[in-house]
Amino acid sequence: MSISPILVAKGEKELFLLPQMANRHGLIAGATGTGKTVTLQVLAQNFSRIGVPVFLADVKGDLAGLSQPGAPNPKIEERVKKLGLEGFQFSASPVVCWDVFGASGHPVRTTVSEMGPLLLSRLLNLNEIQSGVLSLVFKIADDDGLLLLDMKDLRSMLQYAGDHASEFTTEYGKISAASIGAIQRALLALEEQGADKLFGEPALDLDDIIQTDSQGRGVVNILSADRLMQSPKTYATFLLWILSELFEQLPEVGDLPKPKLVFFFDEAHLLFNDAPDALLEKIEQVVRLIRSKGVGVYFITQNSSDVPDQILGQLGNRVQHALRAFSANDQKAIRAAAQTFRINPKLDIEQAITQLEVGEALISFLEEKGSPGIAERAYILPPSGQIGPITAEQRDRLIKDSVLFGHYEKEIDRESAYEMLKAKALQAQQAAPAPVAKPPGRQRQGVAEAMVKSAARAAASQAGRTIIRGVLGSLFGGKKGLF
């Protein structure tokens, strides 16, 4: 089935993103205020229009405007006229709102077990030794059939492992009390940030973010992340968890006419800052292989140098907004960004990056055979949806009109590690024999009896010695000095 290409920008020529190449991933880069958010909006609404669901994080609180049709304003009218966009119309996209804290969207959760020790170690900022202990605790819980669903489950399991550390040493290895304490303190800090709401049930069902509406348009899933961004590692780890789950759960589909889902990762530098090698390897694996699951991943960041080279090489579709050369490091970053584009003989790419206007970008999309297109300078099309935030009333209506309303709002707390370990401790306490306490009178009686017996033994011994002396004396004629 042939699907029309997505018109994204116009310059000397029209620039299209081919739907069959959209799952080859992409990058939207540029300094603050240069137009990255609008580019994201344009791509998201166009993916939705051709029936591709979208997941994105709204870090500034203004992407929910996609749910409302835009309105004329001088800047948009100027852009429409400048680009010659005949028949341009404002329209809304189907939107579902999500929020870890449950205030600005449907609550979105995962379980501790689904998060896994690797991502949880990143979330808790654990060192290598502490991460190893956490992995052991997960292994013990799995072997004993103890479900780790929420924070209290993990706390109970950590305490249980610490209390029985000597019993686990032979089979699992040493469990350090210091590491258990450090993990418990990290959990407490996480709870103080409110991130404990991330764990629990019902957990997010990935099928709920891969939906189309009655008109065949892809649903745009918007995660409210303005509050979540106050804890950057929580934000980045949670989005990475969703990507990892998509990678683990979705079947292989090969190359499709259009993606099954497009995932936008805003503030992508937070994912890679201080990330351990094991995590970087996991990210690289997911990005490299998730294409065959029909998922396209688009990173949004200020500079392409924020993304490690092994991952940057996987991002075939590029939109580079302006960068400013205020320092030697800035100039170095500009040169590095320019080198990632296919050379255009008519364009000095390095110089153009510093001259781009707001809403203008250097663009290179993959061509039909998979090779990168020549870098072109062009203006991004105006979005058909509203630019900027929506009102509290509009958001409330979106949430309550959603087919998902009521499913995720009610939290479930079923029997898991916390309840099972509590019951186990109670059973052990009841099964232990109670010590028999002697009454004080009986104790004193026992002491008195012992004293009498001791005195009797002493008297008997003395009497015995007197008799022996008498017998021996008579035998030896009463001689002195023998005894």
HEC readout, 215-281 = CCCECEEEEECCCHHHCHHHHHHHHHHHHHHHHHHCCCCCCCCCCCEEEEEECCHHHHCCCCHHHHH
Q: Are 201 and 252 in contact (CB under 8 A)?
A: no
Do the domain assignments include residue 437?
A: no
Q: How far apart are CA 135 and CA 112, in angstroms?
A: 12
Other residues' Cβ atoms within 10 Å of the Cβ of residue 331: 15
Cβ neighbours of residue 292 closer than 8 Å, sequence gap 6 or more = 252, 253, 254
Burial 18-57 (b: 16+ CB within 10 A, else e): bbbbbbbbbbbbbbeebbbbbbbbbbbbbbbbbbbbbbbb
Summarize pLDDT for 196-252 with one digit per residue, the tens. 899 999 999 999 999 999 999 999 999 999 999 988 889 999 999 999 999 999 999
Look up the CATH number of the domain holding residue 38: 3.40.50.300
41, 120: one domain = no
Tokens 């939107």 correspond to what residue?
Answer: 95
226, 323: one domain = yes
Q: How far apart are CA 239 and CA 153, in angstroms?
A: 23
Do the domain assignments include residue 406?
A: no
Domain boundary among 142, 171, 197: 197
Do the domain assignments include residue 452?
A: no
Do the domain assignments include residue 435?
A: no
317, 349: one domain = yes
- Per-residue confidence (pLDDT) for residue 279, from 0 to 100: 87
Three-state secondary structure call for residue 390: coil
241, 357: one domain = yes
Extract the tokens encoding 243. 């990507």
Extract the tokens encoding 345. 């003989």
Domain boundary among 148, 171, 197: 197
Summarize pLDDT for 54-87 with one digit per residue, the tens. 999 999 989 999 999 999 999 999 999 999 999 8
Q: Residue 289 pLDDT more than 70?
A: yes
Q: Are 241 and 235 in contact (CB under 8 A)?
A: no
Q: If pLDDT is split at 50, 70 and 90, which confidence band does 438 have?
A: low
Parent domain of 182: 112-197
Pairing state between β 54-58 and 220-224: parallel
Three-state secondary structure call for residue 10: strand
Tokens 């993959």 correspond to what residue?
Answer: 366
- List C-alpha distances in Å: 156 to 151, 416, 418, 432: 9, 10, 6, 22
Model pTM score: 0.86
Do the domain assignments include residue 410?
A: no
Straight-line distance from the first to the last Cα atom of the chain, in angstroms, rounded to the nearest whole number? 125
304, 380: one domain = yes
Do the domain assignments include residue 395?
A: no
Specify the higher pLDDT residue, 17 or 453.
17
Q: If pLDDT is split at 50, 70 and 90, which confidence band does 447 have?
A: very low
Mean pLDDT of 325-345: 89
- Between 35-44, 139-148, 396-405, 426-435, the lowest mean confidence (pLDDT) is in 426-435
252, 374: one domain = yes
Do the domain assignments include residue 305?
A: yes
316, 338: one domain = yes
Q: Which of 296, 370, 372, 360 is nearest to 322 (CA)?
A: 360
- Residue 129: how many CA atoms within 13 Å on its side-chain side? 9
Q: If pLDDT is split at 50, 70 and 90, which confidence band does 482 have?
A: very low
Q: Are 75 and 47 in contact (CB under 8 A)?
A: no
- Which parts of 330-397 are beta strand (E)? 360-364, 376-380
Number of folded domains in the chain? 2
132, 272: one domain = no
Q: Residue 437 pLDDT more than 70?
A: no
Do the domain assignments include residue 470?
A: no
Q: Where are the alpha helices (DSSP H) in 250-382?
A: 269-272, 277-289, 309-312, 328-339, 349-355
Summarize pLDDT for 372-399 with one digit per residue, the tens. 999 999 999 999 999 999 999 999 999 9
Domain boundary among 359, 390, 421: 390
Other residues' Cβ atoms within 10 Å of the Cβ of residue 212: 14
278, 134: one domain = no
Q: How far apart are CA 462 and CA 475, in angstroms?
A: 21
23, 161: one domain = no
Taking CA 128 as the corner, what is the angle to CA 119 and CA 183, rounded to the nearest 5 degrees?
A: 65
Q: Answer whether the bond into residue 202 is a cis peptide, omega within 30°.
A: yes
Q: If pLDDT is split at 50, 70 and 90, which confidence band does 475 have?
A: very low
Q: Which of 408, 308, 373, 374 is nearest to 101 (CA)?
A: 408
218, 251: one domain = yes
Q: How far apart are CA 142 and CA 163, in angstroms?
A: 18
239, 333: one domain = yes
